[in-house]
Amino acid sequence: MQLSGVRAVVTGATSGLGAAMADALLRAGATVAVSARPGPRLEAAADRWTAEGLAAVALPMDVRHPDSVEAAVAVLKSRWGGVDLVVNNAGIGMRTVNPRFFSDPRPFFEVSPEAFADVVATNLTGYFLVARAFAPVFVAQGRGRFVNVSMNHETMRRRGFVPYGPSRAGAEALSLIMTDDLRPFGITVNLLLPGGATTTGMIPDELPDEARRSLLGAQVMGPPIVFLASAEAEGLSGERIVAKDFESFLDRFRSTRPLGG
C-alpha cells in the first residue's frame, strides 16, 4: 500500500476534517494515531477503524494542555519509536461563541474574554503545543512532516468571526515561521485547507438549503493528505494547498519537478 510503514498523528480525528484525513491515511496503508480529548467518543472512533482491519490507535490528547500533549508524545515514542507525520487539525468554531453566527453575526466587542481565550487555546495555542512537543522527535530523527490545517483568508477577516478568524490567522502565521525554523533540520511544514465551507459540525443549523448544497464534503481533504504523507512529497515544504484545487496543484507540482526527482 502507498503509505505502508508511515506513522501518522491526526489531532481532532473523531469527526469532520480530522476523521476524513485519518480515514484516507488509514486506507492508504498508514498507521494512524487517532487523537482527541479522552473519552468514549475517541475510543469508539478508533474501534470503528480497527474493526475494518485498519491500523488505527486511539491517542488521548487535549491540545490545550502541555502535560496532556507531552504525555501523548511519550506514549508514541515508547510504542512506535518515532513518528513520520503530524497533522494539526483540532479546532473549535464560531458555534461555541455565537450559535447563530451566520444569521446574526456579532461584533468583536460582544465576545467575552473567556470565549475568545477558549477558541485561541484550541485553534492556535494547541497547534503550537503539539508542534513544540513533536518537533524534538523529528529533529532527533532528522526528518518529519507537519501539516497544519487552515482556512480561506476571506474567513479570517469576515465580519462577526472573532475569535475564530484571528485564531486561524495566527495558526497560519505560526506555520510559516515553523517552516523556516525547521528547514535546517530536514523537517517540512505545509498548510492544507478545504477551500470552502465543509459539511462539518462547525456549520450553523440555520444555514439556508441553497448554501448547504454548495458545501464541500470533508472527504476533499483525503487525496492531498495522502500525497503529503507519501514519498512523492519528500522535501516539499512551505506550500499552502487548497484541497478542492488539489488536482491542479498536483499537475503543476509534477510538471515543475526535476526529471527523476
User: Which one, of 83, 159, 168, lies nearest residue 123 by Cα?
Assistant: 168
Residues in the chain, overall count = 261
What are the cell numbers at 18? 480530522
Q: Where are the alpha helices (DSSP H) in the chain?
A: 16-27, 40-50, 66-80, 113-120, 126-141, 153-156, 164-182, 209-213, 222-229, 246-256
As a whole number of angstroms, the distance between CA 208 and CA 95 comes to: 16
In terms of Cβ atoms closer than 10 Å to its own Cβ (0-12, 13-18, 19+), residue 232 is middle
**127 catalytically annotated:** no
Residues with pLDDT less than 70, the chain:
1, 198-214, 258-261
As a whole number of angstroms, the distance between CA 50 and CA 27 comes to: 11
Domain positions in the chain: 7-32+42-54+64-256
CATH number of 7-32+42-54+64-256: 3.40.50.720
SS3 state at 104: coil
240 alpha-carbon distance from chain centroid:
13
Q: What is the pLDDT of residue 260?
A: 52
User: Which one, of 104, 188, 107, lies nearest residue 146 by Cα?
Assistant: 188
3-state secondary structure 122-146: HHHHHHHHHHHHHHHHHHHHCCEEE
Q: What does DSSP assign to residue 198?
A: B
- Which is the catalytic residue, given 127, 164, 227, 246? 164
Q: What is the pLDDT of residue 134?
A: 98
Q: What is the pLDDT of residue 201?
A: 54
